[in-house]
């Protein structure tokens, strides 16, 4: 049975919440600003060896032989791992969809540049890298599949021969009478779009220390793991071990954004440990490894899409055809990013019918991994671009066409054609608020003046829904099984009344430990610094998933409040016994257990906990001496999808609207962001400063996506980006001063009304910048349809315009 937990701030057992909903300092920060947080690279263990990985220089090549004999003789080398070992000891990686996995080292052939082929464990990383140079690999290069379109060509080389095709997954979803909607529409707006690969690139790469216990035949891996219980299952499957023989100990991460990766490195280090008599083996991915072969490449998409629109601007149908290059294998779970748009397929709009035709293919590029937003950012780029095109064709203002199509406040909860349910929102109020903040009319006048002076200045008004709190059912469209994503915590109160909460995830940057402390401090009426939040590894944590899918703030709140409620009930029972009354007459407020309506009949929570542990003689009959409670939360009301993939998947629907003004330099194609305004409604903000920080961080990532970041491959699938000289992330000089404001429409479904809040800006910023660029380019009659809108691409567009060049 789940505990009944507070749904609103007012429901907390606190006369006046002091921490929740306030901009509090993060408890994580002192260790981070002093450099004392235990990032994995800091870890030293007795006898520890260092791993370096030999990688394929070929995008596609048979491996004829691997000779590691010289490397093994090199002074300081303890073990060398090759394909023979992994064939003997492991299984291919689990994937979604199933069956597109390979071993952690290439055995028969290499399928992408950077694929691990052999590895060394030595006394230092330097020596391990020296030894790699002594390994002889004989390759027989094969023709490569360079991109998604080529993967579908007749006679294209096959990445997995036994599959007979490079198509990983193909499915057509039709929701409602979509053909009828298009047949009846006054206008059909169609276009093609291209989203090039980019990705997470946290400032810390992945790192791990793996150790094989040869007596027990078990593995312990310490590292920067985002979802440790999930990761443990993957390792158990790979190693063929019982799942309780894999222990994952997560360390703080220097960022993740979904793209930390690390499965192969973890497995390779573990197997090297097995070969090196069980000594711990550390592998720290270096930046070039991350860029070429790490967990940081996402969304490599070709789109063809159409919007059905009536003359008055009403949008009635939306069709999307997606071709996504998942890369050489399914190991990075990149396919689920193609499924996530189902949760928000028609955006903020009352579009009644839709169609999604998805084709996911394998090529000789790096396997895709998740990245913040997990798929909707390209989808919104397509949808919002088409909405702008429709407005342009109809002569409507871009804000007005959106207003006309919004789901209205009285329509919530609202089920979109693709099946997900939006919990609440007020999109028109959000739009009005941001237009007001931007002084939209004045902006348009400023734009008109600039255009008269020959400048290419454009404005966009875009909006999106951030689906919050994922459920596995959201990804059933690509074969992911299961319903429910448990997140558990255990709260313990010791004999002195000190509170410790154990969670199954480690620090990643979102301030969740602070959130746990805020909630418990208010729940039990103590100072935040009296709460200790600790990471429990997979051997001791309650069921958990950790951060991902914009869920942890909400899920953690549910788990903390559930466990606190259980604890409160125990304390009430014990205190009632001590005060010789019934629990029903008792209440807990600000950490004091008291008899309702009787002044001074109260005792502090610490005394009750102390009594439980040290005075068993005073406990009610049957009460265990256990001031501890575990609660595991998952979103209520989730179910398996129907035959068209429809289900309630994400619990909350946050909304935001951005207004952006840009200028395109006609001579160079370079873009400057002149102004940026945001109004964001993610329900109750549990730590507003923290939420604001996530928003601005996601805007910066969105700017990178729109203008700068791209993993470029050549026509033979060779990656051309291997350093930060070529993978360009925004610096402090590339992010404009953004004005932002909050709206609060609490979720009726989530604990305390909070919604998933970390991703909306990355959903919107790329679309918003491209729409603003296209508004700027509109006088030239050209439009950008490819991301990133690099200066080179925009210059080519401007060149292609039928317009006097040297104005």
Partner 1 sequence: MKPAPFDYVVPETAEEAVSCLQKYEDDGIEATVLAGGQSFVPLLNMRMARPDVVVDLRKLKTLKYIREEDGVIAIGAMTTKREVEESELIQQRQPLFHASTLEIGHLQIRSRGTVGGSMAQADPAAEYPAVALALGMEMKILGTDGERIVPADEFFITYLTTEIDSTELLTEVRVPVLAEGTGWSFQELARRHGDFAIVGGAVTLRLDGGVCTDPHIVLFGVGATPVRMTAAESAISGQAPSAELFAQAGEQGAAELESPMADVHASAEYRRHLAKVIIKRCLLEATERAGGSVS
Partner 2 sequence: MSTKKRISLSVNGKLLEGEAEPRTSLADFLRDDLALIGTHIGCEHGVCGACTIMMDGQAVRSCLTLAVQAEGTELMTVEGLLDENHQLHPIQEAFIEEHGLQCGFCTPGFLMSTFELLEKNPSPSDDDIKEALGGNLCRCTGYQSIIKSVRLAAQKLQSANTAS
Residues in contact with partner 2 by the rule CB under 8 A: 25-26, 28-37, 39, 41-42, 126, 200-205, 252-257, 286-287, 507-511, 689-690, 692-701, 723-725, 729-733, 735, 737-738
- Rounded CA-CA distance 289/723 in Å is 9
Q: Which is nearer to partner 1, 41 or 129 (CB)?
A: 129
When asked if residue 672 is in the footprint of partner 1 (CB under 8 A), the reply is no
> What tokens were used for 470?
């994922």
Q: Which is nearer to partner 1, 408 or 792 (CB)?
A: 792
- Beta strands at 187-195 and 301-309: parallel, antiparallel or unpaired: antiparallel
Q: How far is the CB of 72 from partner 2 (least distance, A)?
A: 21
When asked if residue 734 is in the footprint of partner 1 (CB under 8 A), the reply is yes
Q: How far is the CB of 358 from partner 1 (least distance, A)?
A: 29
Stretch near partner 1 under the rule CB under 8 A, chosen from 76-84, 454-462, 577-585, 721-729: 721-729
Q: Which is nearer to partner 2, 347 or 511 (CB)?
A: 511
> What tokens were used for 142?
């094969």
Query: Look-up: residue for tokens 């019982």?
Result: 242
- Beta strands at 499-503 and 531-535: parallel, antiparallel or unpaired: parallel
Q: Which is nearer to partner 2, 292 or 780 (CB)?
A: 292
Nearest Cα residue to 665 out of 778, 765, 791? 791
Strand segments, DSSP code E, in 402-550 are 414-415, 421-422, 456-468, 487-493, 499-503, 531-535
Q: Which is nearer to partner 1, 272 or 555 (CB)?
A: 272
The helix or strand, by DSSP H or E, that contains position 760, with its residue range, turns out to be helix 760-777
Q: Which is nearer to partner 2, 26 or 319 (CB)?
A: 26
Q: How far is the CB of 712 from partner 1 (least distance, A)?
A: 4
Q: Which is nearer to partner 1, 601 or 728 (CB)?
A: 728
Contacted entry of partner 1, partner 2, none for residue 253, CB cut-off 5 to 8 Å set by kind? partner 2
Q: How far is the CB of 288 from partner 1 (least distance, A)?
A: 6
Contacted entry of partner 1, partner 2, none for residue 60, CB cut-off 5 to 8 Å set by kind? none
> What tokens were used for 429?
């109020």
CA distances (Å), origin 32, targets 28, 29, 201, 508: 7, 5, 19, 11
When asked if residue 130 is in the footprint of partner 1 (CB under 8 A), the reply is yes
When asked if residue 194 is in the footprint of partner 1 (CB under 8 A), the reply is no
- Rounded CA-CA distance 692/680 in Å is 9
Residues 754-773 within binding reach of partner 1 (CB under 8 A): none
Q: Which is nearer to partner 2, 737 or 806 (CB)?
A: 737
Q: Which is nearer to partner 2, 664 or 698 (CB)?
A: 698
- Rounded CA-CA distance 119/267 in Å is 11
DSSP code of residue 708: I
Contacted entry of partner 2, partner 1, none for residue 436, CB cut-off 5 to 8 Å set by kind? none
- Ramachandran assignment for 540, one of left (phi > 0), alpha (psi -120 to 50 degrees), beta (any other): alpha
Q: Which is nearer to partner 1, 108 or 796 (CB)?
A: 796
Contacted entry of partner 2, partner 1, none for residue 790, CB cut-off 5 to 8 Å set by kind? partner 1
- Rounded CA-CA distance 420/221 in Å is 37
488 beta partners: 632
Q: Which is nearer to partner 2, 512 or 634 (CB)?
A: 512
> What tokens were used for 599?
């002044």
Q: Which is nearer to partner 2, 257 or 427 (CB)?
A: 257
Contacted entry of partner 1, partner 2, none for residue 41, CB cut-off 5 to 8 Å set by kind? partner 2
Contact (CB, 8 A) for 698 and 735: no
Each residue 682-711 as x (binds partner 1 by CB under 8 A) or -, in order, gives --------------------------x-x-
When asked if residue 728 is in the footprint of partner 1 (CB under 8 A), the reply is yes
Q: How far is the CB of 45 from partner 2 (least distance, A)?
A: 13
Q: Which is nearer to partner 2, 501 or 735 (CB)?
A: 735
When asked if residue 203 is in the footprint of partner 1 (CB under 8 A), the reply is no
Q: At what angle do helices 263-275 and 228-239 cross, to 10 degrees?
A: 50
When asked if residue 126 is in the footprint of partner 1 (CB under 8 A), the reply is yes
Please say whether the dihedral angle defined by the alpha carbons of residues 755, 761, 764 and 766, taken in this order, is positive or negative: negative
Please say whether the dihedral angle defined by the alpha carbons of residues 251, 45, 247 and 334, taken in this order, is positive or negative: positive
Count the Cβ atoms, other than its own, within 10 Å of residue 35.
Answer: 8
Residues 568-587 within binding reach of partner 1 (CB under 8 A): none
Q: How far is the CB of 708 from partner 1 (least distance, A)?
A: 6
Q: What share of the chain is helix, strand, coil (3-state, %, to 5)?
A: 35, 25, 45
Q: How far is the CB of 724 from partner 2 (least distance, A)?
A: 4
Contacted entry of partner 2, partner 1, none for residue 362, CB cut-off 5 to 8 Å set by kind? none
Contact (CB, 8 A) for 395 and 743: no
Nearest Cα residue to 372 out of 757, 789, 739, 746? 757
When asked if residue 670 is in the footprint of partner 1 (CB under 8 A), the reply is yes
Count the Cβ atoms, other than its own, within 10 Å of residue 193.
Answer: 21
Q: How far is the CB of 264 from partner 1 (least distance, A)?
A: 18
Q: Which is nearer to partner 1, 153 or 796 (CB)?
A: 796
- Rounded CA-CA distance 610/407 in Å is 53
Interface with partner 1 (CB under 8 A), residue from 108, 153, 667, 672:
667
Q: How far is the CB of 200 from partner 2 (least distance, A)?
A: 8
- Rounded CA-CA distance 208/284 in Å is 6
Query: Look-up: residue for tokens 């003046």?
Result: 449
Interface with partner 1 (CB under 8 A), residue from 108, 668, 672, 779:
668
When asked if residue 720 is in the footprint of partner 1 (CB under 8 A), the reply is yes
Q: Which is nearer to partner 1, 69 or 723 (CB)?
A: 723
- Phi and psi, residue 361, nearest 5°: -125, 160
Residues 279-298 within binding reach of partner 1 (CB under 8 A): 286-289
Count of residues making up the chain: 807
When asked if residue 806 is in the footprint of partner 1 (CB under 8 A), the reply is yes
Count the Cβ atoms, other than its own, within 10 Å of residue 278.
Answer: 15
Q: How far is the CB of 729 from partner 2 (least distance, A)?
A: 6
Interface with partner 1 (CB under 8 A), residue from 432, 791, 801, 803:
791
421 beta partners: 415
Max CA separation in the chain (angstroms): 93
Count residues near partner 1 (CB under 8 A): 31
Q: At what angle do helices 791-800 and 760-777 cross, to 10 degrees?
A: 30
Q: How far is the CB of 776 from partner 1 (least distance, A)?
A: 18
- Ramachandran assignment for 395, one of left (phi > 0), alpha (psi -120 to 50 degrees), beta (any other): left
Q: Which is nearer to partner 2, 351 or 767 (CB)?
A: 767
Contacted entry of partner 2, partner 1, none for residue 36, CB cut-off 5 to 8 Å set by kind? partner 2
- Rounded CA-CA distance 123/132 in Å is 13
> What tokens were used for 762?
């990355």
Contact (CB, 8 A) for 751 and 5: yes
When asked if residue 731 is in the footprint of partner 1 (CB under 8 A), the reply is yes
Contacted entry of partner 2, partner 1, none for residue 33, CB cut-off 5 to 8 Å set by kind? partner 2
When asked if residue 125 is in the footprint of partner 1 (CB under 8 A), the reply is yes
- Ramachandran assignment for 62, one of left (phi > 0), alpha (psi -120 to 50 degrees), beta (any other): beta
Q: How far is the CB of 775 from partner 2 (least distance, A)?
A: 23
The helix or strand, by DSSP H or E, that contains position 446, with its residue range, turns out to be helix 440-452
When asked if residue 792 is in the footprint of partner 1 (CB under 8 A), the reply is yes
Contacted entry of partner 1, partner 2, none for residue 202, CB cut-off 5 to 8 Å set by kind? partner 2
Q: Which residues bind partner 1 (CB under 8 A)?
A: 125-126, 129-130, 133, 286-289, 667-670, 708, 710, 712, 720-721, 725-726, 728, 730-731, 733-734, 790-792, 795-796, 806
């Amino acid at each position: 049975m789940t505990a009944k937990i507070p749904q609103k701030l007012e429901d907390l057992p606190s006369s006046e919440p002091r921490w929740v909903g306030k901009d509090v300092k993060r408890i994580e920060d002192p260790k981070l600003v002093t450099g004392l947080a235990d990032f994995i690279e800091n870890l030293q263990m007795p006898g520890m060896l260092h791993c370096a990985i030999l990688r394929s220089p070929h995008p596609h090549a048979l491996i004829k032989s691997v000779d590691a004999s010289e490397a093994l003789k090199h002074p300081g080398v303890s073990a060398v791992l090759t394909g023979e070992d992994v064939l003997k000891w492991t299984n291919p990686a689990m994937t979604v969809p199933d069956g597109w996995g390979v071993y952690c080292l290439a055995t028969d052939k290499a399928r992408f540049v950077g694929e691990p082929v052999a590895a060394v464990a030595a006394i230092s990383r330097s020596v391990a890298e020296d030894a790699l140079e002594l390994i002889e690999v004989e390759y027989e290069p094969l023709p490569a599949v360079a991109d998604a379109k080529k993967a579908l060509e007749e006679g294209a080389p096959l990445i997995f021969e036994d599959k007979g095709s490079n198509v990983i997954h193909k499915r057509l979803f039709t929701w409602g009478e979509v053909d009828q909607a298009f047949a009846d529409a006054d206008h059909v707006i169609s276009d093609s779009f291209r989203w090039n690969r980019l990705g997470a690139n946290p400032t810390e790469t992945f790192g791990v220390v793996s150790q094989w216990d040869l007596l027990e035949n078990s593995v312990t891996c310490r590292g920067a793991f985002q979802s440790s219980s999930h990761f443990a299952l993957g390792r158990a499957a790979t190693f063929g071990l019982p799942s309780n023989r894999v222990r994952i100990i997560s360390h703080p991460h220097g960022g993740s954004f979904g793209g930390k990766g690390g499965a192969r490195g973890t497995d390779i280090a573990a197997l090297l440990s097995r070969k090196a008599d069980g000594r711990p083996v550390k592998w720290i991915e270096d930046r070039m490894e991350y860029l070429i072969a790490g967990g940081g490449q996402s969304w490599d998409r070709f789109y063809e899409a159409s919007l059905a629109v009536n003359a008055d601007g009403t949008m009635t149908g939306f069709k999307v055809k997606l071709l996504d290059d998942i890369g050489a294998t399914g190991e990075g779970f990149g396919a689920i990013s193609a499924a996530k748009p189902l949760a928000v397929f028609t955006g903020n709009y009352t579009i009644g019918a839709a169609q999604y035709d998805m084709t996911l293919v394998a090529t000789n590029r790096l396997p895709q991994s998740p990245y913040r937003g997990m798929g909707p950012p390209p989808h919104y780029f397509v949808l919002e671009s088409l909405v702008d095109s429709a407005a342009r064709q109809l002569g409507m203002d871009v804000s007005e066409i959106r207003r006309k199509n919004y789901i209205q406040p009285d329509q919530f909860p609202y089920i979109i054609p693709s099946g997900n349910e939006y919990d609440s929102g007020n999109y028109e109020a959000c739009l009005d608020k941001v237009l007001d903040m931007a002084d939209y009319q004045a902006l348009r006048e400023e734009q008109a003046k600039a255009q008269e002076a020959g400048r290419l200045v454009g404005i966009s008004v875009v909006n999106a829904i951030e689906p919050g709190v994922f459920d596995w059912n959201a990804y059933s469209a690509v074969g992911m099984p299961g319903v429910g994503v448990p997140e558990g915590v255990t709260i313990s109160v010791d004999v002195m009344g000190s509170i410790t909460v154990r969670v199954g995830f480690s620090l990643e940057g979102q301030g969740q430990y602070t959130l746990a402390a805020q909630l418990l401090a208010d729940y039990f009426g103590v100072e935040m610094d009296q709460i200790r939040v600790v990471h429990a590894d997979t051997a001791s944590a309650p069921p958990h998933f950790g951060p991902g899918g914009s869920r942890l703030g909400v899920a953690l709140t549910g788990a903390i409040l559930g466990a606190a409620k259980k604890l409160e009930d125990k304390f009430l029972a014990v205190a009632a016994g001590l005060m010789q009354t019934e629990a029903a007459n008792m209440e807990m407020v600000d950490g004091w257990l008291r008899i309702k309506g009787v002044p001074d009949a109260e005792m502090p929570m610490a005394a009750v906990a102390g009594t439980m542990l040290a005075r068993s003689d005073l406990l009610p009959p049957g009460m265990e001496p256990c001031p501890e409670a575990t609660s595991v939360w998952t979103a209520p009301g989730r179910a398996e999808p129907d035959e068209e993939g429809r289900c309630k998947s994400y619990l909350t629907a946050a909304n935001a609207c951005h207004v952006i003004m840009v200028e395109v330099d006609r001579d160079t194609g370079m873009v400057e962001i002149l102004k940026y305004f945001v109004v964001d409604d993610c329900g109750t903000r549990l730590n507003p400063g923290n939420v604001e920080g996530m928003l601005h961080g996601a805007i910066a990532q969105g700017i990178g996506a729109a203008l700068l970041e791209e993993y470029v491959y050549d026509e033979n699938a060779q990656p051309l980006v291997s350093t930060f000289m070529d993978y360009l992330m925004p610096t402090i000089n590339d992010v404009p001063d953004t004005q932002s404001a909050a709206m609060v429409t609490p979720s009726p479904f989530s604990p305390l009304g909070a919604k998933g809040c970390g991703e909306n800006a990355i959903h919107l910023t790329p679309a918003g910048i491209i729409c603003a660029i296209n508004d700027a380019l509109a006088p030239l009659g050209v439009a950008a349809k490819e991301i990133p809108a690099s200066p080179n691409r925009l210059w080519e567009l401007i060149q292609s315009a039928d317009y006097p060049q040297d104005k």
